[in-house]
Structure 1
């Protein structure tokens, strides 16, 4: 969760809600908690890799599992684009949009080449990246408080906008929480998952929420909601000039680390769906030497590289949030059938639907179209898979 989102999501959220993004952050955290707990209960019941792709299939039927997998693939593909654009925004702030798109595409293709040869982000590298990111965020907040020029007048208009703007901000900030349910997918690798996973999730969410709230308040006080809304690299603009290069390097490292892991995950889900007959079988090939699903990886990398040329950061975040909220709506509906603590999946399902349709209209329309395309291809894929 501590990755590209904390460096990129606050600007579009401020555009939607002004200082009300703080309320949006709280709403996004509540929905994320419900989604994660529903996923945790399902993971304890079905300790297999695949997440909601498995849960939807087992609890609601094959179509819903397929649709969840489809939503995950397209949503996380957009997340890859958002992370690549975050790399470019912080690493090359003075360049034009076209050059930044080229840098973002280059980052995607370079990491795809690494994944192609079986290079994966280890647990040690993950800890290093998160530690560096937390140090950068801590230094930024402290520098803003000590030598910056924070002004409480930035919060004078709180909550800043009506309920619609706050919900839109919550939907956009939901992107920043992406990753929490990966804990729930570790059911096969954790001792006593029924006890361990439900305890780990609220701890992780709580710590992350504290970090996000501190960064959000610092940005609002230093930049104000109007300047924050228009900043492509808000944290680098908020800190003193001598600290800005460190922040830019830390943001690029965090985004690259998230991008490496996410390209890996999306390509594996694509491979699994192709192997199950839900995507073209050609994507289910495994490289004879490197032992990786090379065609799925190359396809995902090329699609993301093309996507960054035709979308901006806000559009990528909005579309990703819509598709991933649809994914977790299916997870909550699946958890509802377990008949335990139904208030949690009920709140999660309602929250996913409300936040999804509170996003910018372009994100909602494009998300509906892409999910509809996936649903329309289901009969074709199902009949061919049956044959």
Structure 2
């Protein structure tokens, strides 16, 4: 008999986990990347990303409510589509969220290294150290991790609001990054694609279907509440960023670079570090649950599906997930990791919407139009990303499918 995780997470816990998976790298980093592409159209790019994320969130809620198991779209793909699309969803989820976690760890390490003033290579060493520490925390059990996460979410929100208040009070910059640039649709959509990733932590709630109490009631509510809170925060942060009008957004941009030295900047600085480490913690939890689901089905080695004695953690799945994240972090490059995450997660949610369209009418509580809009939005944004990122993403897809077909044939013979 397959071991099942204990259902111990309430609505409040699910929302906190969702917020903890979102508020971090997205708010402190990707808003800047979006500004570099969209300029003064940043607010509209955020609204577009939020709308597409909402469509996907409703599709995820629909699926999670009627099929509440660990694994998210990986499981939905198998149940409502076919084994190839199910596997691709799981494969790309691991790639996307591992890249996001690596970006968060690298950004935290980059900030810490500003104070330590160590050589640049130390950033990767620090990022790997953070990932190892967080892995040990997750292995200690979900309940302990959830308590830490609640504290990190509170600090992150406080730091972001502090940045907004500081920006409102500081003299507005007279420079303009984009005043001489005409609207570019491709760059605008690419900005929305990068910002979309900053919303996708709500999927963390769906992947916890096996651990949430009353999943049919709690999961949809948790996703909607999380989306509302995050959208308000992102719009506020974007408005504050536009008041600064930075002339240059580098590959390692973080909001604190815009602030003048002082206690306020230090508070935001610490909040940013802790928030991004909180995102890494939640991503490690979420990705390990998908690895767990894939191992149970045999798409990954079955021994990775073993749980601990109290059935609150999957040690092997967690350690494998951590190794993938460490490998990506070792390559360095915050924006590179974030862009790769954008492509793979957009394909992942395309499959989510396809699966949601297969739900029978009597089981639906959202109209199909939401899933159609989510599907079109995901494919459109993915096509606007850097061509090299798209190529690497397709290469990862081919490698994954080859592995899946090999395992599939082996299990049938």
TM-score, normalised by the number of residues in structure 1 = 0.90
Cα deviations by residue, 1:34-89 (Å, 9 ceiling, x for unpaired): 10001111122212222111211111122211111111111111111011012112
Q: Please report how far the alpha carbon of residue 192 of structure 1 lies from its aligned counterpart in structure 2 after TM superposition.
A: 7.5
2:200 is aligned with 1:174: no
Paired position in structure 2 for 1:108: 131
CA contact (8 A) 1:20 1:159 kept: no
Q: 1:377 aligns with which of 399, 403, 409?
A: 403
Consecutive unaligned residues in structure 2, runs of 5 or more: 1-21
Paired position in structure 2 for 1:234: 254
Q: 1:379 to 1:288 in 2, by over 3 A?
A: same
Aligned equivalents of 2:166, 2:76: Cα separation in 1 = 45
Aligned equivalents of 1:371, 1:98: Cα separation in 2 = 30
Cα deviations by residue, 1:361-383 (Å, 9 ceiling, x for unpaired): 22211111111211122211112
Aligned equivalents of 1:348, 1:154: Cα separation in 2 = 33
CA contact (8 A) 1:18 1:226 kept: no
Paired position in structure 2 for 1:309: 330
Aligned equivalents of 1:116, 1:192: Cα separation in 2 = 24
Paired position in structure 1 for 2:237: 215
Q: Please report how far the alpha carbon of residue 293 of structure 1 lies from its aligned counterpart in structure 2 after TM superposition.
A: 3.2
2:152 is aligned with 1:132: no
Bigger mean CA offset, 297-306 vs 341-350: 297-306
Aligned equivalents of 1:266, 1:185: Cα separation in 2 = 8
Aligned equivalents of 2:171, 2:149: Cα separation in 1 = 34
Cα deviations by residue, 1:193-250 (Å, 9 ceiling, x for unpaired): 25x544443332122111101111211211x2423x2273432122331122211111
Aligned residue pairs total 383
Q: 1:367 aligns with which of 390, 393, 401?
A: 393
SS at match of 1:9: helix
Aligned residue runs from structure 1 range 304-383, under 5 A? 304-338=325-359, 341-383=367-409
CA contact (8 A) 2:106 2:123 kept: yes
SS at match of 1:220: helix
CA contact (8 A) 1:106 1:305 kept: no
Bigger mean CA offset, 238-247 vs 198-207: 198-207
Consecutive unaligned residues in structure 1, runs of 5 or more: none
Q: 1:197 to 1:264 in 2, by over 3 A?
A: closer
2:270 is aligned with 1:249: yes
CA contact (8 A) 1:19 1:158 kept: no
SS at match of 2:319: helix
Runs of 4+ in 1 over 6 A off after TM superposition: 288-291
Q: Please report how far the alpha carbon of residue 22 of structure 1 lies from its aligned counterpart in structure 2 after TM superposition.
A: 2.2
Q: Please report how far the alpha carbon of residue 261 of structure 1 lies from its aligned counterpart in structure 2 after TM superposition.
A: 1.9
CA contact (8 A) 1:90 1:233 kept: no
CA contact (8 A) 2:204 2:286 kept: no
Aligned equivalents of 2:231, 2:41: Cα separation in 1 = 16
Aligned equivalents of 2:358, 2:377: Cα separation in 1 = 18
Aligned equivalents of 2:205, 2:137: Cα separation in 1 = 25
CA contact (8 A) 2:207 2:290 kept: no
CA contact (8 A) 2:46 2:192 kept: yes
TM-score, normalised by the number of residues in structure 2 = 0.85
Q: 1:298 to 1:182 in 2, by over 3 A?
A: closer
Cα deviations by residue, 1:275-302 (Å, 9 ceiling, x for unpaired): 2110133433456799743333223222
Q: Please report how far the alpha carbon of residue 141 of structure 1 lies from its aligned counterpart in structure 2 after TM superposition.
A: 0.9
Aligned equivalents of 2:305, 2:69: Cα separation in 1 = 19
Aligned equivalents of 1:112, 1:376: Cα separation in 2 = 30
